[in-house]
């Protein structure tokens, strides 16, 4: 399996991450006055590949969607 990694450092901004359906997404983001919203239509994982999202969000937001 091949995992992909995104390391975020978001301040006073917004980020949208678009992922294909069926991809496993693991979120390990710390936030202060911000947050991460998982708006994927489906969260059914069909493969062994994963996207691992780490980092920090301050005064901003991250949206994950299909």
Query: Tens of pLDDT along 27-46?
Result: 999 999 999 999 999 877 77
Nearest to 53 by CA among 37, 41, 34, 42: 37
Residues 33, 41, 26, 12, Cα dihedral to 10°: -20
| 22 neighbors 49 (Cβ within 8 angstroms) | no
Answer for the pair 35, 60: CB distance below 8 angstroms, yes or no: no
What's the chain's average pLDDT? 92
8, pLDDT greater than 70: yes
State the Cα–Cα distance between residues 57 and 22, nearest whole angstrom: 25
Rg (CA), the chain: 12
């Amino acid at each position: 399996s091949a995992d992909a990694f995104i390391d975020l450092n978001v301040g006073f901004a917004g980020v949208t991450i678009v992922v294909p359906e069926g991809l496993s997404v693991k979120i390990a983001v710390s936030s202060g006055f911000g947050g991460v919203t998982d708006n994927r239509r489906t969260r059914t994982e069909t493969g062994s590949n994963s996207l691992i999202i780490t980092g920090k969000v301050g005064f901003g937001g991250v949206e994950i969607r299909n």
